[in-house]
Structure 1
Amino acid sequence: MMMSAVLVGGCNNDGPKESGISLIKTTNPTPVAIGKNTKKELDLIQSVEKDIEGFKELYDVAVVKGKEDILVAYKVKHMQRFHMKKIEKKMNKLLEEKYPDENFIVSSDYKIFLEAVELEENMKDSNYSGKEAEKKLQEIIEMKKELT
């Protein structure tokens, strides 16, 4: 009886669908702009995502643009994890050269990636306001700063 209760409780499927499985497989989350979704902003974040996906060392990228910052969270292929500092340095250099007017927060941390995917999923909900999304993005950025 106890074993069946544990199994049923363990199989509970609450929470977002994509974020739960995003650590295991490639999810390719859609780049998201919080607030104004102008063509210029959408083109910018799609361009950023395309540039980052060009790195052969990576297999998944999440891009979220807030009012002032652009969060780029990515996952590194397993055998490339020894070169993470070099990959991040190369990525920062590319982003700063190509988009000098933008402020990028770049992270390879899985927790940051999960939070970015979850934010993207929440933004699909019409009840989730831009103010809430910006607040969540700032919390993710704070989390990134605490990790460094």
Structure 2
Amino acid sequence: MQNIYRAMAIAGILLLSGCNVGQQGKDSQLALVKTTNPKPIVTDGRRTPTWVEEIKREVSSYPELYDVAVVKGQEGTLVVYKVKHLHRFKMKQIEKDVTKFLEKKHPKEKFTVSSDYKIFLEAVRLDEKMKSPKFPKKKAEKRFKELVKMTEDTK
């Protein structure tokens, strides 16, 4: 009988440790659990413009939000964030406020704003991939467009 319990315990440990094998980077593993605070990303590989960093700071200053990722593509800017638990019932209003603020502050830029966890996670993964010199800029821009399309599909 004890052998059965040992076998079950070993199988459980192996099963749980096997779940982490296919994971990508450390940030993406913990992105939904804790604050990752990713740096703003520019998909064409140029230096991050100061106004993109400013967007991250300004959106991060909202008291309802606790983690913000900004991805600048050729055709626009994606802003994704995580909402504090007690403010989740106002998510639509927060999204409207953030969008209105960004469009007023930067009228020439096209913004896509989302609080979707999956899109946030994918933005963190894109950041991790872009750190590799082998990751082509065209792929980064393509992934950016896919993320924008994902936000449109979830609305």
TM-score tier by shorter-chain length is over 0.9
Give the counterpart of 1:57 among 54, 64, 77.
64
SS of 2:49's equivalent in the other structure is helix
Q: State the one-letter code of the partner of 1:54.
A: S
SS of 1:45's equivalent in the other structure is helix
SS of 1:11's equivalent in the other structure is helix
Give the counterpart of 1:31 among 40, 50, 68.
40
1:103 aligns with 2:110: yes
What's the % identity of the aligned pairs? 45
Contact preservation (8 Å) 2:43, 2:144 = no
Following TM superposition, where does structure 1 have runs of at least 4 consecutive aligned residues deviating by more than 3 angstroms?
none
Whole-Å Cα distance in 2 between the matches of residues 142 and 3 of structure 1?
A: 43
SS of 2:88's equivalent in the other structure is helix
Gap runs ≥5 in structure 1: none
User: What's the offset of the Cα at 1:6?
Assistant: 3.8
Q: Calculate the TM-score normalised by the size of structure 1.
A: 0.93
1:11 aligns with 2:17: yes
Q: Please identify the structure whose Cα radius of gyration is greater.
A: 2
1:145 aligns with 2:140: no
User: What's the offset of the Cα at 1:79?
Assistant: 0.2
User: What's the offset of the Cα at 1:132?
Assistant: 0.6
User: What's the offset of the Cα at 1:3?
Assistant: 4.2
- 1:70-97 per-position Cα deviation (integer Å, ceiling 9, x unaligned): 1100000000011111111111111000
Q: Residue 85 of structure 1 corresponds to which residue in structure 2?
A: 92
- 1:39-69 per-position Cα deviation (integer Å, ceiling 9, x unaligned): xx52121011011011010000000001111
User: What's the offset of the Cα at 1:5?
Assistant: 3.2
Whole-Å Cα distance in 1 between the matches of residues 139 and 15 of structure 2?
A: 31
Gap runs ≥5 in structure 2: 1-6
User: What's the offset of the Cα at 1:143?
Assistant: 1.1
SS of 1:29's equivalent in the other structure is coil
